[in-house]
């Protein structure tokens, strides 16, 4: 038992050090851009115009999003995330997610559709947090789906509750990376994000008593998560 405890402590410490290294890495790039741009403005190498100020603002907003995401993860994993649950219709969540990304999908040449299958019971969730889950999943799907492809968001009732799925027709995830897609800072080489979207989705689903999984192949990727119905347990 002592050896097992020691091993767990060693594993947790290694994860803590890796997390700090990952955070430092993610913050270093925007900080370098901000610093270099400000130094060039001070030295007169760049004109003090709106374009350069907006570049600084964009980098600072990116840092702010990263810190917000990390706070959400740490709060949820510590069991301190407050959920404002209420009976919520799955179709409303799907319609809102599709509406939010319709313009982006159109600009990317990707067909984005959403719907439900059969009669779907209400779910007892924090609608803001589940909307965040769907937003992360749809955004990720659109990012990896080429023009002419499709992203579809659906929900269906199962014996365990309500099963949501976000399916794309992208290139798929490599078999060696698939088991790690929900890890913090896990991302493909061509991904512009910090690699926290799926980690946040997993954490928020689990604090609701749900489960999430990823399926992928040459024809695309599907992320599936199940949430218990209102008054039920997952």
Predicted local distance difference test score (pLDDT) of residue 190: 56
Asked whether 196 and 128 are in contact (CB, 8 A), the reply is no
Decide: helix, strand or coil at residue 112. Answer: strand
Q: How many other C-beta atoms are found inside a 10 Å radius of the C-beta of residue 152? A: 19
pLDDT, position 234: 45
**pTM (two decimals):** 0.77
Cβ burial 19-45 (10 Å sphere, 16+ → b, else e): eeebbeebeeebeebbeebeeebeeee
The one-digit pLDDT tens for each residue of the chain (234 residues) are 667 776 766 766 666 676 677 777 678 878 888 999 999 999 999 999 998 999 899 889 888 888 888 888 888 877 888 999 999 999 999 999 999 999 999 999 999 999 998 889 999 999 999 999 999 999 999 998 999 999 999 999 998 899 999 999 998 888 888 888 888 776 665 555 556 788 889 999 999 999 999 999 888 999 999 998 876 554
Tokens 């050090």, residue located: 17
User: Looking at residue 129, what is its pLDDT?
Assistant: 94
């Amino acid at each position: 038992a002592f050896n097992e405890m020691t091993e767990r402590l060693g594993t947790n410490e290694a994860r803590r050090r890796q997390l700090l290294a990952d955070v430092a890495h993610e913050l270093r790039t925007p900080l370098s851009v901000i610093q270099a741009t400000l130094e060039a403005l001070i030295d007169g190498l760049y004109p003090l115009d709106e374009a350069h100020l907006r570049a600084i603002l964009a980098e600072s907003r990116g840092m702010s999003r990263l810190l917000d995401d990390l706070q959400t993860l740490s709060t949820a994993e510590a069991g301190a995330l407050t959920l404002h649950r209420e009976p919520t219709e799955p179709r409303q969540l799907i319609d809102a997610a599709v509406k939010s990304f319709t313009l982006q999908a159109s600009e990317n040449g990707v067909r984005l559709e959403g719907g439900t299958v059969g009669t779907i019971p209400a779910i007892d969730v924090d609608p803001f947090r589940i909307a965040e889950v769907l937003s992360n999943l749809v955004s990720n799907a659109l990012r990896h789906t080429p023009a002419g492809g499709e992203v579809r968001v659906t929900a269906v009732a199962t014996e365990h509750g309500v099963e949501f799925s976000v399916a794309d027709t992208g290139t798929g995830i490599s078999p060696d990376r698939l088991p790690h897609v929900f890890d913090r800072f896990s991302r493909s080489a061509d991904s512009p994000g910090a690699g926290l979207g799926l980690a946040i989705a997993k954490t928020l689903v689990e604090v609701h008593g749900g489960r999430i999984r990823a399926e992928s192949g040459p024809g695309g990727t599907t992320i599936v998560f199940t949430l218990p119905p209102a008054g039920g347990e997952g």
